[in-house]
Amino acid sequence: MMRYSDRRVLITGGGSGIGQACVLRILDEGGRVVASDVSEDGLRDTASKAQSAQDRLSTLVMDVGDEASVTAGLADAVGLLGGLDTLINAAGILRSARLEQTALADFEHVLRVNLVGTFLVTRESIVPLRAGNGPAVVNFSSTSAQFAHPYMSAYAASKGGILSMTHTLALEFAKDGIRFNCVQPGSISSGMTDGTGQARQSVGPGLPDDADYSLFPRLQPMLVIDGGEMFAKPSAVASVVAMLGSPDAFFVTGTEVRVDGGTHM
């Protein structure tokens, strides 16, 4: 499929994990992509994996939690692409801790990157999206937005906010023809969930040492994954994102798609 031929796409969080998988998938479908990330090393890794599409990929260092960085970054991205048709807000961080041990700064940092970052990038993208071809926005919520994930209160709050904001923006911009949807990954192996992502340079997402695993009634996806792995690869989400951001989903807006192999049935 070449659903992205002549489509101009900005993907945040493109330096690792699911964001990187989205970059590679959309390049494979013929898109012109600007991949942004806070990590230069991560972006270099993405570029190295996209050798066959180097002429259609640009990379951009941008901190989605910083308003000035987003304002400048969006201007640069739109200039590089000559417009914008699809925005994929994949940038995010995960921090896990017991609530009573969670510092205010850590809670606010998660909200700043995940929720405020999605708001800032989307706000700055609206003008070019209005002029785009079949414009679409794909946001990243999470299964934690609707299902209890212990020790992840900040992350769940941020992803619940993204879910609600996606519904609101879908209605607000329906008459402009801009579609807003979100994906809810779960049981996915990525740099964010395993702590190995290029952009993860501080506290990892691992559960507390004394975590009560009886609070997780079922972690295993119902679908069988090739190789017997517990978590699916990021490409499982990237394929759904590619559909939602393409003209194939022209009649889909204001909804979420859970990609978790049936873990949260």
Query: Which residues have a catalytic role annotated?
Result: 155
CA distance 63 to 73: 9
CA distance 33 to 8: 6
What single-letter DSSP state applies at residue 132? S
Long-range contacts of residues 168-172, Cβ cutoff 8 Å, at least 24 apart: 169/122, 169/137, 170/253, 170/254, 170/255, 171/254
Query: What sign results for the dihedral spanned by CA atoms 110, 116, 118, 121?
Result: negative
CA distance 235 to 232: 8
What single-letter DSSP state applies at residue 129? H
